[in-house]
Amino acid sequence: MINSLNYFSSLAIPLTIMVIIFYGLKEKKKTFDVFLVGAKEGIEIVVKMLPTLLGIFLAIGLLRSSGIIDFFVNLLTPITDFIKFPSQVMPLALLRPISGSASMAVAVDIMNNYGVDTLVGIITSVIMGSTETTFYTIAIYTSCVGIKKTRWILLPALAADIAGMVASVLICRFLS
């Protein structure tokens, strides 16, 4: 069974390409010309997004290296202890809306330090699955379509992230 799954998964991309080519031939489309137009549009989108991506990566690097995240974790620890939100997860809660790669690194670090099957590890996993890299997503999507005023997008998105984090802690505590 596993060998047949590996076989079919190895064939998935070549078969998809073949289906596209045969469909283009059937419809009498110039498949390669259509591909080139799509590739050109893709490159134009990447060029439009590049300044936004560079700004986000610079901001994340500054946050991580400056110690601001540790400062906020220490500042919020009395509050998080009072509401029984594990302070070990706070760096993830602060970085998750900003960066997927930084939050993944923090999540791996949390799981290495506390274990994947501990309450902290499980909460970390659920937060990673139930929240979004809000600033990154808003920046990319709005810059692609030219939206400049994002304040009405940001507040509900951050509220959804907070709700996902709180729900993660509550559900994990209830189920453990």
Give the pLDDT confidence of 95-121 residue by residue, as tens digits: 899 888 788 888 988 999 999 999 999
What distance in Å separates the CA atoms of residue 130 and residue 165, rounded to the nearest whole number? 7
**Among 106, 99, 105, residue whose Cα is nearest residue 58:** 99
Task: Name which of 85, 70, 98 is nearest 154 in CA terms.
Answer: 98
Domain with 141 in it: 2-175
Q: Please, what is the average pLDDT of the chain? A: 86
Q: How many domains does the chain have?
A: 1
pTM of the model: 0.66
| Span 40-81, pLDDT tens digits | 998 988 888 788 778 877 877 787 788 888 898 889 889 888
Kindly give the interhelix angle for 119-130 and 151-175, rounded to the nearest 10 degrees. 150
- Cβ(92)–Cβ(103) under 8 Å? yes
Q: What is the pLDDT of residue 54?
A: 80
* pLDDT at residue 61 in the model: 75
pLDDT digits (tens, 9 = 90+) for 117-158: 999 999 999 999 999 888 888 888 887 777 877 778 888 988
Q: Residues 134, 97: contact at Cβ < 8 Å?
A: yes
What tokens does 4 get?
Answer: 């047949």
Whose tokens are 């596993």? That residue is 2
